[in-house]
Amino acid sequence: MATSIKKLPDIEQVLSGNGACGGCPATMGLRMVGKALGPNAIMLLTPSCSVASMGMTPKLGYNWPCINITFASAGSSASGIANAVEIMKEKGRFQGELPTVFTWVGDGGTYDIGFQALSAAAERNDNFIFFCYNNEAYSNTGVQRSGATPRGTFTTTTPTGKRQPKKNMALLMLEHHIPYVATATVAYPGDLYDKVLKAKSIPGMKYIEILAPCYLGWQFDMHDTVQMSRMAVRSGAWLLWEAENGKISFSNPSASIISGKKAAESVDDYVMKQGRFNRLLKGPDAAQRIAEIQGDINREIAFMRERAKIVY
Amino acid sequence: MKAAQVIMATGNNAAALAVKSARVDVVPGYPITPQTSIMEAVAAMVENGELNARFIPVEGEHSVLAAAVAASAAGARVFTATSANGLLYMHEVLHMASGGRLPVVMCNVNRGIFAPWTLWADHQDSMAQRDTGWIQYHCSSNQEVFNTILQAFRVAEQINLPVMVNFDGFAISHCLMPLTLPPQEDIDRFLPPHEPGWRLDPAHPSSFSNVTVASEYAPFRQMLSDDIMASVPLVKEAAQEYKEITGMWDGDTIDTYRLEDAEVVAFAVNSMAAELRLSVDILLEQGIRAGLLRPRLYLPFPSEDIIQALPQNAQVMVLDRNYNFGHPGGILAAELKSALFGRRNDITVKNRVMGIGGIDLTRRFMAAEIRAMMEE
Amino acid sequence: MKSVTKAYQPISWPMKGAGGDTGSWRTHRPVVDTEKCTKCQFCWAFCPEAVIDRKEITIDYRYCKGCGVCAAECPTGAISMEMEE
């Protein structure tokens, strides 16, 4: 069982009054990350909403040492810091416990421009946690498509709906043979908290991706952030899983969907509640387009069910 | 007291040995000809325990410098090296290093730029990075490469600026020359441990480079510009103190040869400037009062020192191993004219571009070129 | 550290209100009905802004942006969103 809400620690690393939109799923997720990591950590960001949210010089909305770096380089810069603090500790120039080095990067900085540096850092198994908060588009620049944008989505650069499915990024990271990979989302804070706590205790490269439903990009009411996150999981559009040393396990409600104990909810409710889909789903080909979206989800469920059976 | 040791080393070996002597903490690296053997040597020294550092074999030059600046922000002493297209690929991060005031030291082993592909030396790569806010040294011998890397760390860490140490591919990087290695305790005296005023530290959380409003941004950029200029005395002081400790001298911001009463002054950087000393000897034998002025520091451009050093009414023959596209001739000539304008109206500046893509520059060839330029 | 005499880099320091007094963004304010509240802390856990006191279930209106997630997630309907003046 995931840690219950009442047992989550008090500590707040995300400070009130930061620059994020109301109802922001990224700060919501980052709050949970902060509760698991605590203050002894170094944070890297690349251009994204969370940089816009953190406040302008000289004010900082996060209670960590942070560095904003070039967009393509979260993976390599995190390697630089992880190696720097380790060698300085060895040489007696870094006092105290070694900090957790982590990145906090959007889906653009993970799936697209940052993929090369991330892939290489994973292959080197450098010691840090790479967090991707995935709002399935370039929300900070006004909602353009990314490699994480699902098929059928309206963005400003896919004005008739994206024609291609998204990548399965977490699975790609798993195939880098890193010791820990997990997916999470904001509606399940205990699950997220536990995964971060586990990642923190494992040396080497860890990848955690957090689905972050963005009311602005997805076009729903901002008080529904958590509800949308929950619906993504219940429909199977987002699967909650983790893999320690390559062995995949699912957490609920995804576990029940994978095992077949409980059918995934139909995707209709999920997509029709979001302007990014429903504005395109009112035409004569609506049924076919919803079927395509459902088809992608079914494929991922079937694939991950079988992939989880491979243990090496 | 231990004596200095003399060995035979290539320029790239000399660079790697300087990295070891500087007790560098972190070296991200990626192969590119003709720089590769620096990274190979550093990786080997880290592996066999000669150098207590972390070598990070990243996947491309953009990541090389991204890892370097981040490690530097964490408080480590950081070195890396590259060449040509690798340097161009770093362009974005070069700006981050200078704007972020991160004292990374990087060797650029000069090589011509694609397209078409070439492997051999010219100076288009480093000079194309003129406006990135890095201090740039250009070296003319293996020994100078070694000495300059140590001086570069000292200057970089004093003024919080990144420093590029340039030297020619193959002519320096791959040629063996005698190399004097001063005793480590002398080097430790010259280059104290790196203690940055600010670093990423969980005990004192602070953030580096949030979005900055114009009224805050502009003063930081002004300070960057001012501090690059303010590095000149530090460069001189480093050269002077290095000389006092090790007895070795490569010039400070500039290096000169037979300049005092010269009527014709050869003006060039890197290995061709070493060869030009011999060209000067040829010209002297021919009865021409020739001399040499080599800017060892390309950026900040040592205008004042050049203005002071040039003899009255000299003709300066600028031999550029690069193009100043959109203008006739090369970049050094444009820099020199800009420095002299309104200050030394007695000086004539003439310019030729040569040695592009590694074309061999012999003493006789350059002496003949200078003679021909005198007739222009 | 803070003893730095010259700030070479654009450095920022942690503080509440890095985005200003973000309570001014609000169009609706969450109001807690203490009769209905069971102190389950769901509102506290889901608040993106960390403005809810988990023990007292009180809200820091200086920074609360009024997103309404707390009201939407409250299992007993104890939080209502009331129009700001």
Provide the ipTM: 0.96
**Residues B22-76 pLDDT 10s:** 999 999 999 999 999 999 999 999 999 999 999 999 999 999 999 999 999 999 9
Total count of residues recorded for chain C? 85
- Do the Cβ atoms of A127 and A85 come closer than 8 Å? no
**Residues B66-77 pLDDT 10s:** 999 999 999 999
Give the whole-angstrom CA distance, residue A78 versus residue B67.
Answer: 7
Contacts of A283 (CB under 8 A, 6+ apart): none
User: Which residues on C lie below 8 Å from B205 (Cβ)?
Assistant: 13-14
**Residues A2-46 pLDDT 10s:** 999 999 999 999 999 999 999 999 999 999 999 999 999 999 999
Q: Which residue from A23, A53, A189 is facing C69, i.e. has the nearest CB?
A: A23
User: Which residues on C lie below 8 Å from B220 (Cβ)?
Assistant: 9-10
Q: Please state the pTM of the whole predicted model.
A: 0.96
- Do the Cβ atoms of B124 and B112 come closer than 8 Å? yes
**Total domain count, chain B:** 2
Contacts of A6 (CB under 8 A, 6+ apart): C40, C41
Q: Please tell me which residue of chain C has the smallest CA distance to A18.
A: C19
Asked if B74 and A69 come within 8 Å (Cβ–Cβ), the reply is no
Asked if C13 and B206 come within 8 Å (Cβ–Cβ), the reply is yes
Q: Please tell me which residue of chain A has the smallest CA distance to C71.
A: A223
CA distances B113 to A36, B84, B129, B135, B359, Å, are: 48, 6, 12, 21, 14
Q: Which residue from A65, A117, A119 is facing B207, i.e. has the nearest CB?
A: A65
Residue with tokens 């200095």: B4
CA distances B124 to A30, A135, B318, B325, Å, are: 45, 42, 15, 10
Give the whole-angstrom CA distance, residue A120 versus residue A128.
Answer: 13
∠ CA(B19), CA(B20), CA(B21), 5° rounding? 95
**CB within 8 Å of chain C, chain A residues 208-227:** 221-227
Asked if B126 and B40 sit in the same domain, the reply is yes
**CB within 8 Å of chain A, chain B residues 77-116:** 78, 92-93, 96
Q: What is the residue extent of each domain of chain A?
A: 5-307
**Residues A108-125 pLDDT 10s:** 999 999 999 999 999 999
* Greatest distance between any 2 Cα atoms in chain C: 55
**CB within 8 Å of chain B, chain A residues 122-161:** 124, 126
Name the residue among B86, B93, B33 with its Cα closest to residue B60.
B86
Query: Is the CB of A172 inside 8 Å of chain B's CB atoms?
Result: no
**Residues B241-264 pLDDT 10s:** 999 999 999 999 999 999 999 999
Give the whole-angstrom CA distance, residue A20 versus residue A211.
Answer: 17
Q: Please tell me which residue of chain A has the smallest CA distance to B215.
A: A57
CATH of the domain at B277: 3.40.50.920
* End position of a domain, from candidates B246, B271, B291: B246
Task: Give strand ranges (E) for chain B.
Answer: 5-9, 26-29, 54-57, 79-82, 105-110, 135-138, 163-168, 177-181, 207-208, 254-257, 264-267, 290-295, 297-299, 315-320, 348-353
Q: Please tell me which residue of chain A has the smallest CA distance to C25.
A: A22
Q: What is the residue extent of each domain of chain C?
A: 22-83
Name the residue among A49, A208, A8, A251 with its Cα closest to residue B211.
A49
Chain A / chain B CB contacts < 8 angstroms? 172
Give the whole-angstrom CA distance, residue B357 versus residue B329.
Answer: 16
Name the residue among A246, A250, A252, A261 with its Cα closest to residue A300.
A250
Neighbouring-strand partners of residue B57: B29
Q: DSSP secondary structure string, B317-352?
A: EEEESS--TTSSS-HHHHHHHHHHTTT-TT-EEEEE
Give the whole-angstrom CA distance, residue B115 versus residue C71.
Answer: 62
User: What pLDDT score does B1 carry?
Assistant: 57
Asked if B204 and C14 come within 8 Å (Cβ–Cβ), the reply is no
Work out the average pLDDT over B285-290. Answer: 98
User: What pLDDT score does C5 carry?
Assistant: 47
Q: Across chain A, what does the average pLDDT equal?
A: 96
User: Which residues on B lie below 8 Å from C1 (Cβ)?
Assistant: 197-198, 201, 203-204
Asked if B302 and B229 sit in the same domain, the reply is no
CATH number of the A5-307 domain: 3.40.50.970
Asked if B59 and A76 come within 8 Å (Cβ–Cβ), the reply is yes
Give the whole-angstrom CA distance, residue B133 versus residue B221.
Answer: 10
Q: Please tell me which residue of chain A has the smallest CA distance to C64.
A: A17
Q: Please tell me which residue of chain B has the smallest CA distance to C3.
A: B197
Helix, strand, or coil (residue B269): coil
Asked if B206 and A60 come within 8 Å (Cβ–Cβ), the reply is yes
- Do the Cβ atoms of B112 and B219 come closer than 8 Å? no
CA distances A283 to A155, A163, A267, A278, Å, are: 17, 16, 18, 10
Chains sharing 3 or more CB pairs under 8 A with chain C: A, B
**Residues A237-272 pLDDT 10s:** 999 999 999 999 999 999 999 999 999 999 999 999
Give the whole-angstrom CA distance, residue B126 versus residue B123.
Answer: 6
Asked if A72 and B66 come within 8 Å (Cβ–Cβ), the reply is yes
Q: Which residue from C1, C6, C9 is facing B208, i.e. has the nearest CB?
A: C9
Model confidence band, residue C6 (pLDDT cutoffs 50, 70, 90) = low
> From the CA atom positions of chain C, what is the Rg in Å?
17
Residue B285 exposed, middle or buried by CB count within 10 Å (0-12, 13-18, 19+)? exposed
User: What pLDDT score does B2 carry?
Assistant: 75
Work out the average pLDDT over A65-85. Answer: 97
Asked if B223 and B300 sit in the same domain, the reply is no
- Do the Cβ atoms of B99 and B192 come closer than 8 Å? no
Asked if B275 and B229 sit in the same domain, the reply is no
> Is the confidence at residue C1, as pLDDT, over 70?
no
User: Which residues on A lie below 8 Å from B204 (Cβ)?
Assistant: 65
Q: Range of B207's domain?
A: 5-246
User: What pLDDT score does C2 carry?
Assistant: 38
The CATH number fitting domain C22-83, selected from 3.30.1330.20, 3.40.50.10800, 1.20.1260.10, 3.30.70.20: 3.30.70.20
Model confidence band, residue A200 (pLDDT cutoffs 50, 70, 90) = very high
**Residues B196-210 pLDDT 10s:** 999 999 999 999 888
User: What pLDDT score does B343 carry?
Assistant: 97
Give the whole-angstrom CA distance, residue A279 versus residue A171.
Answer: 30
To the nearest whole percent, how much of chain B has pLDDT over 90? 97
Q: Across chain B, what does the average pLDDT equal?
A: 97
Asked if B211 and A65 come within 8 Å (Cβ–Cβ), the reply is no
- Do the Cβ atoms of A113 and B92 come closer than 8 Å? no
Asked if B208 and C10 come within 8 Å (Cβ–Cβ), the reply is yes
**Residues A203-239 pLDDT 10s:** 999 999 999 999 999 999 999 999 999 999 999 999 9
Asked if C13 and B220 come within 8 Å (Cβ–Cβ), the reply is no
Query: Is the CB of C9 inside 8 Å of chain A's CB atoms?
Result: no
Query: Is the CB of C62 inside 8 Å of chain A's CB atoms?
Result: yes
User: Which residues on A lie below 8 Å from B211 (Cβ)?
Assistant: 51-52, 56-57
CATH of the domain at B237: 3.40.50.970
Helix, strand, or coil (residue B82): strand
Chain A / chain C CB contacts < 8 angstroms? 131
Residue A38 exposed, middle or buried by CB count within 10 Å (0-12, 13-18, 19+)? middle
Give the whole-angstrom CA distance, residue B237 versus residue B286.
Answer: 38
Give the whole-angstrom CA distance, residue B176 versus residue B192.
Answer: 30
Main-chain phi, psi angles of A67, to 5 degrees: -135, 130
Asked if B114 and B242 sit in the same domain, the reply is yes
Which candidate in A57, A126, A141, A200 is best for mutational testing of the B interface (most B CBs within 10 A)? A57
User: What pLDDT score does C4 carry?
Assistant: 42
